[in-house]
């Protein structure tokens, strides 16, 4: 009996260790320290001056345990790894402002309808002093049959304490990404066949030259993308770009 109890405890500890989130980073802004907490895949939490901003909360509700309640939730698209009503409930988003594309707003449960800001590509809103601009995110070549069509979902640029933070959403190295200016922190996806491969992601990053870039959303159909190769390619082209590799898959 004791051996069975010990084995069960060890399994529980192992499971907890597997689900351990990557350590949070701090980025200095004029509004104070911005905390960057990777969660899983496309999900992350940005916190500054007591304001919690979740991007694409999705996945195991246990991953969000102990994290602060949201003030703002950004959702990029309708796919389940971005729009997850179970995760929204687990972070208690019922009082948060949800910034979403129209296609997500159309599918939100009634409990969230009263505090939704709908942004179309190119639209801008200010929520709790944070400026949020929606950008296109889509597959190339453009096609009505693409998994991500232009105009449906949003990438986002947030302005927080004088810093510009870019969230790519599901996209390829589109002209709108490559034309970005003065980006301080970027979160860039790379996972075939849904978005882009590592060389394309590195080439796009070298075009808009963020000061800091996090590869995220890098689990594809055939496993995890080689983020070390991404870092090598980016820094071969520009050593000044701070490529930060973090574990976005705590359950693997």
pLDDT tens digit sequence for 111-144: 998 999 999 999 999 999 999 999 999 999 999 9
Name the pTM for this structure: 0.91
pLDDT class of 16 with cuts at 50, 70, 90: very low
What does the pLDDT read at residue 13?
Answer: 34
| Domain-located, residue 119 | yes
Domain count, the chain: 1
138 phi/psi in degrees, rounded to 5 = -165, 165
**Directed axis angle between helix 198-208 and helix 227-237, to 10°?**
40
Q: Please state the rounded mean pLDDT for residues 34-42.
A: 97
What does the pLDDT read at residue 243?
Answer: 98
Helix (H) or strand (E) holding 212: strand 212-215
| Domain-located, residue 248 | no
Tens digits of residue pLDDT in 146-205: 999 999 999 999 999 999 999 999 999 999 999 999 999 999 999 999 999 999 999 999
| Domain-located, residue 90 | yes
Query: How many Å apart are CA 131 and CA 161, to the nearest integer?
Result: 10
Across the beta sheet with 163-167, what order do the strands follow?
124-127, 130-135, 155-160, 163-167, 185-188, 212-215, 242-243
| Domain-located, residue 250 | no
| Domain-located, residue 165 | yes
Query: How many Å apart are CA 160 and CA 4, to the nearest integer?
Result: 51
Interacting residues of 209 by C-beta distance below 8 A, sequence separation 6+: 183, 238, 241
Enter the DSSP assignment of 58: -
pLDDT class of 9 with cuts at 50, 70, 90: very low
| Domain-located, residue 149 | yes
Residue 210 belongs to what domain range? 23-243
What does the pLDDT read at residue 145?
Answer: 86
What does the pLDDT read at residue 3?
Answer: 34
Of the candidates 41, 87, 62, 92, which has an alpha carbon nearest to the alpha carbon of residue 195? 41
User: What CATH number is associated with residue 122?
Assistant: 3.60.15.10
Tens digits of residue pLDDT in 57-96: 999 999 999 999 999 999 999 999 999 999 999 999 989 9
pLDDT class of 5 with cuts at 50, 70, 90: very low
| Domain-located, residue 234 | yes
| Domain-located, residue 2 | no
What does the pLDDT read at residue 19?
Answer: 62
What does the pLDDT read at residue 8?
Answer: 36
């Amino acid at each position: 009996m004791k051996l069975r109890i010990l084995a069960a405890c060890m399994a529980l500890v192992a499971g907890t260790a597997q689900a351990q989130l990557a350590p949070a980073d701090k980025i200095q802004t004029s509004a104070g320290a911005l905390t960057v907490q990777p969660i899983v895949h496309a999900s992350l939490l940005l916190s500054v001056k007591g304001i919690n901003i979740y991007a694409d909360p999705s996945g195991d509700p246990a991953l969000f345990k102990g994290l602060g309640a949201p003030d703002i939730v950004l959702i990029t698209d309708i796919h389940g790894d971005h729009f997850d009503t179970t995760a929204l409930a687990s972070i208690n988003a019922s009082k948060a402002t949800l910034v979403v594309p129209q296609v997500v707003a159309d599918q939100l449960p009634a409990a969230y309808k009263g505090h939704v800001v709908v942004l179309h590509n190119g639209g801008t809103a200010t929520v709790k002093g944070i400026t949020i601009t929606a950008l296109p995110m889509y597959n190339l070549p453009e096609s009505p049959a693409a998994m991500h069509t232009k105009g449906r979902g949003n990438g986002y640029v947030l302005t927080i304490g004088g810093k510009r933070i870019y969230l790519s959403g599901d996209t390829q190295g589109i002209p709108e990404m490559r034309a970005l200016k003065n980006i301080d922190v970027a979160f860039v996806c790379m996972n075939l066949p849904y978005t882009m491969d590592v060389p394309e992601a590195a080439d796009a990053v070298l075009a808009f030259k963020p000061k800091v870039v996090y590869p995220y959303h890098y689990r594809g159909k055939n496993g995890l993308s080689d983020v070390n190769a991404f870092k090598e390619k980016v820094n071969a082209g520009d050593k000044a770009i701070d490529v930060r590799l973090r574990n976005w898959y705590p359950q693997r």
